[in-house]
């Protein structure tokens, strides 16, 4: 287990998680429930963290993270067909329920 990234909020953590998953890297989001829901102010100073399972993936994961941090933020948002959660416009998988996002 290796801590790759501390995200500002849960959807951001899942953007990174999605990108890692597409590259075949096993990863997980920790602390996602500590930071409060989307649009709420966090009531603790705990932010969601993205951890990768295999230390061997660190190099590739760091490169993916760098790509993510360089690209402009996604414009607009889409709502999940299953749970109606708001997702960033370039999401394919809902950060909340894992269902397909309409777009």
Binding residues for Zn ion, per CB under 5 A? 80, 82-83, 85, 94, 96-97, 99
CB of 14 to Zn ion, least distance (A): 11
- Nearer to Zn ion by Cβ, of 52 and 94: the residue is 94
Residue among 42 and 99 whose Cβ is closer to Zn ion: 99
Phi, psi of 13 (to 5 degrees): -60, -40
Q: Which of 10, 93, 23 is nearest to 65 (CA)?
A: 23
CB of 1 to Zn ion, least distance (A): 27
N residues, the chain: 103
Judged by beta carbon, residue 63 or residue 103, the one nearer Zn ion is 103
CA within 13 Å, CB half, 67? 11
Q: Return d(Cα 68, Cα 15) in angstroms, integer.
A: 9
CB 85 within 8 A of CB 79: yes
Please state the closest distance from residue 88 (CB atom) to Zn ion, in A: 13
Q: Which is nearer to Zn ion, 64 or 85 (CB)?
A: 85
Q: How far is the CB of 100 from Zn ion (least distance, A)?
A: 9
């Amino acid at each position: 287990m290796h801590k790759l990234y501390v995200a500002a909020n849960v959807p951001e953590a899942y953007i990174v998680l999605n990108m890692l998953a597409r590259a075949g890297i096993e990863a997980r989001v920790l602390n996602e429930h500590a930071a409060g829901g989307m649009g709420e102010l966090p009531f603790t100073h705990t932010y969601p963290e993205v951890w990768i399972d295999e230390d061997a993936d660190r190099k590739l994961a760091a490169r993916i993270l760098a790509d993510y941090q360089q690209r402009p933020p996604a414009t607009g948002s889409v709502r999940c067909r299953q749970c109606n959660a708001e997702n960033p416009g370039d999401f394919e998988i809902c950060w909340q329920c894992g269902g397909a996002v309409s777009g």
